[in-house]
Amino acid sequence: MANSKIGVVIAVGNPQQITSKSGKAYEKRSIFIDATPYNPYTGERSPYENKILFDFIGEKVKNLDNVNVGDVVEVSFDIQGSNFIGNDGQHRNYIHVRPYGLEVKQTKQNAAPENQQSAEVEQQPLQNNMPF
């Protein structure tokens, strides 16, 4: 089963050239999304924020070329773990979140304006239909 998260793009980083310890050069680009859940019944945003940074590496950097702040995206990723023994003999465990796909679900231009509905409600006069 694939792992994925849907969220609103907060920031898209610029491409960076990274050189590993072995001298191999590769490109890295980051995307920061807000995947904080909403209650499906009330529409209220969860008080527990879930903002995630994904680092796309190598050929996968191209996935971010047409992504803009405010777009709703689905990021597919894999979770990998590794173990490292330091010079002091201590074991260290690392978990890596490796994104491999990105799909734009909704662009900012196609999204309905948030305050359009509230503006329409404000323009309508309030009616008091109370019997007393």
Report pTM. 0.72
Distance CA 72, CA 3 (A): 17
As beta bridge partners, residue 93 has 83
User: Cα–Cα distances in Å, from 57 out to 27, 36, 100, 109?
Assistant: 6, 25, 9, 28
pLDDT of 111: 53
Each residue's pLDDT tens digit, 50-104: 999 999 999 999 999 999 999 999 999 999 999 988 889 898 999 989 999 999 9
Judged against a pLDDT cut of 70, whether residue 124 lies above it is answered with: no
Split at pLDDT 50, 70, 90, the class of 6 is very high
Handedness of CA 70, 74, 76, 79 (dihedral sign): positive
